Every structure is written in structure tokens, then in C-alpha cells.
A and B are shown apart, each in its own frame.
Chain A
């Protein structure tokens, strides 16, 4: 596979191609079954990574971290939501 197609394959898998380039790449892979297979595999890798929910950040996790900070000398006042997070409505 030539260098341009290699580059397009990476951009396609990362959804970084504009519509015109994407169409051109899709035409090219329809004519090349091995490229089609590689494109599918690479897209699947990206999809698997993007869909990984990752580690849970529970309230217990947060409490343990804050406790560690306090044990190491941090003084933590109660965090209040910033006024920008509020949506005032008249009663």
C-alpha cells in the first residue's frame, strides 16, 4: 500500500477526513479487499478504545483521595458549586 493510502487509512480510522477525502478513500478501499479489511480492523480498534468506560470514580474513591490529601496536610473546606453552574428561575 502506498504512503498516501497509509496516511488516509489513519485519518479515516480517527474520523479526521473531510467528506470529499472520505468518499475518495471509500472508493479506493472498495477496490482493494486487503485495504478494506485493514480499515475495518483499525476502525474497530478505535471504536473499542472509545467505548471503554474505564475505571469507576465512585464517591468512596473520591473520599479516599480527599482523606489522603488531608492526611498529608491539606486543609479542605467544603466545595460549593460555582455560581455559573446555577440557573436562576423566578418563583
Chain B
């Protein structure tokens, strides 16, 4: 009697096991491994980069470069649970470099928001307010509130302690609330 397989959504445990196996395969030079690691983390990394940079083109570039760094470091990577944090940290550094270039060149971000015109305008208001926050407040908000990264992982990505992360997160929320001011009612 044969067997048929149905794809199931991966649980975090599955993801961690798959990550471990593919990292080992990457170190052995398995060509499928990078694509497989990209399948696990590509979307998360792209979304994080987009939130940081505010435009599609730079986010795609930062995502591609992040995974190329994975390839270059293949022999050194350890499947010990810290890989995701390492990946986010690489992306963060690439984004910060790009943000510095943007400041020099004054490149505008683009807005890819769905929904009605009014809703899109309100979202732009939120994103503009977020963009105006100091980076030490913006980063915890992007990681914890927008991308749902755990406090522990976010703290490791930013290379700060969990209490320091939470302090920045709380201050960031308050600062965002101040900046949104009168727009708050329309956003409810």
C-alpha cells in the first residue's frame, strides 16, 4: 500500500529542525540548501528590511545580500538556535548602511499600502510618524510590534538586554502616540 503526502504548515519546532538540517547541508556544499533556508526566512527578512528602509528596491537588495552572507559564512554557521538572530542582525546592519546612504542622497521611500485611499493615507500617517522616531525607539517597535519577534530575539538582534529593549519599546510606543496626536481618533 502506497502513501500520499499532504504539505502541513511548519510548526516552530519543525522550522528549527529544518533550519538545522539545511545549515548542515549548506556547510557540506549542498546547492539546495540556500534556497531552502531562503524559503524558511526570506519573507521575514524582506518584511523587516522593508520596514527599516521603506522601499521595495532597497529591501530586496538587503534581503539578497543577507542570504549571500549566509552563503559566504556557510562553514562557520552553527545550528544552535541563534541563526535567526544572526540573520536579523546582518539585515539590520545592511539596512543601517543603506539608511546612511539615503540620508546623504535624500532618496524618498515608496508606499505600497493596500486598502481604500483614506485607510492608505492613515497608514502613511502612522508610517511617517514611525519614520520620524529616533532609531533606538523605531527598531524595537518594528521587531516586536510590527513583525512579532519575541523580546528575547529582538534584544539579541539589537545586542541589548531584554530590560533595555523593553524600556525602548515602551518609550517608543509613547513617542509614537505623541507624534500621532490628533490622528489617533481617525485610526481607531
Enumerate chain A interface residues (CB-CB to B < 8 A).
10, 13-14, 41-42, 44-46, 48-50, 52-57, 61-62, 64-66, 68-69, 72-82, 84-91
* Distance from A88 Cβ to chain B, minimum over Cβ atoms (Å): 5
**Could you name 10 residue pairs across A and B whose Cβ atoms are closer than 8 Å?**
A45-B184, A49-B176, A52-B126, A69-B38, A75-B34, A77-B30, A84-B14, A85-B8, A86-B6, A87-B7
Partner among B4, B63, B141, B170 whose Cβ is within 8 Å of the Cβ of A49:
B141
Partner among B2, B21, B112, B146 whose Cβ is within 8 Å of the Cβ of A91:
B2
Question: In the complex, which residues of chain A have a beta carbon less than 8 angstroms from the beta carbon of B10?
Answer: 82, 84-85
Query: Looking across the interface, which residue of chain B has its beta carbon closest to that of A81?
Result: B7
Q: State whether A50 touches B145 (Cβ < 8 A).
A: yes
Partner among A42, A74, A80, A91 whose Cβ is within 8 Å of the Cβ of B36:
A80
Interface string of B48-73 (1 = CB under 8 A from A): 00110000100111011101100100
Q: State whether B6 touches A14 (Cβ < 8 A).
A: no
Instruction: Count residues of chain B with CB under 8 A from any CB of chain A.
Output: 59
Q: Of the listed stretches B39-47, B80-88, B100-108, B152-160, name the one at the interface; the rest are far from the partner chain.
A: B39-47
Q: State whether A41 touches B177 (Cβ < 8 A).
A: yes
Q: State whether A45 touches B173 (Cβ < 8 A).
A: yes
* Distance from A71 Cβ to chain B, minimum over Cβ atoms (Å): 9
Question: In the complex, which residues of chain A have a beta carbon less than 8 angstroms from the beta carbon of B56?
Answer: 55, 61
Q: Which residues of chain B from 1 to 50 have any CB-CB distance to chain A below 8 Å in the complex?
A: 1-10, 14, 17-18, 21-22, 30-36, 38-39, 42-43, 46-47, 50
B174: Cβ under 8 A from any A Cβ = yes
* Distance from B74 Cβ to chain A, minimum over Cβ atoms (Å): 11
Query: Looking across the interface, which residue of chain B has its beta carbon closest to that of A53?
Result: B114
Query: Looking across the interface, which residue of chain B has its beta carbon closest to that of A45?
Result: B177
Q: State whether B35 touches A61 (Cβ < 8 A).
A: no
Q: State whether A55 touches B112 (Cβ < 8 A).
A: yes
